[in-house]
Amino acid sequence: MIAIIDYDAGNMKSVEKALQFLGQETVSTRDRDVLLRADQVILPGVGNFGDCMEQLNTFGLVPVIHEIVEKKTPFLGICLGLQLLFESSEEAPDVPGLGILPGRIVRIPQSEGLKIPHMGWNSLSLSGNGRLFAGIPDGTYVYFVHSYYLKAEEPEIVKATTEYGVTIHASVEKDNVFACQFHPEKSSAMGLRMLQNFASIRKEGN
């Protein structure tokens, strides 16, 4: 069973529908026991970094997320869900992130001819044999909607980048933690393949 963390995030339903289309058993929940029993857990997210961290705190989900990660349960952050995994964001400078991975979220710089938010299809440059990208060709196009992007402190965790005025760390993987700035659930057949790849990852020792 794949658990989707329910904290009133915008793209929760589209992630759930994509997984159900793939035949995966899913549950959207904020129940600690259900989340800790899940085979995999997904943190979706659309919106403001500070508001979403406030929601996670309101529902008591911050310590639960840390428990899930410490249990080595495969964990996937999507869009703002990626950003929340890191330490801080320029979008809400006074609000600490989850701090599960080292790095910070910064605003995409203004650049002639580029609109912010970055909204649309961009190609990925893959590196480091990321498990989400098994069977995915280099240069695959995926769908982005964001105004802020990740600058990871550990280059070795970056498994995909894209270019939008700057080099954007588009996907990371470290141990059992995975994250995508783009929306695999909205990225056609290749995005569904990435979700299927995640669904096939098992907790260490299982």
| Residues catalogued as catalytic | 79, 183, 185
CB neighbourhood size of 51 (10 A): 14
**CA geometry: angle 172, 192, 196, nearest 5 deg:** 75
Cis-peptide into 96, omega within 30 deg? no
Contact 103, 144 (CB under 8 A): no
- Angle formed by the axes of helices 49-58 and 61-70, nearest 10°: 90
Q: Which residue has the tokens 């058993």?
A: 25
Give strand ranges (E) for 50-176: 75-78, 88-89, 103-107, 118-123, 125-126, 141-146, 148-152, 158-163, 167-174
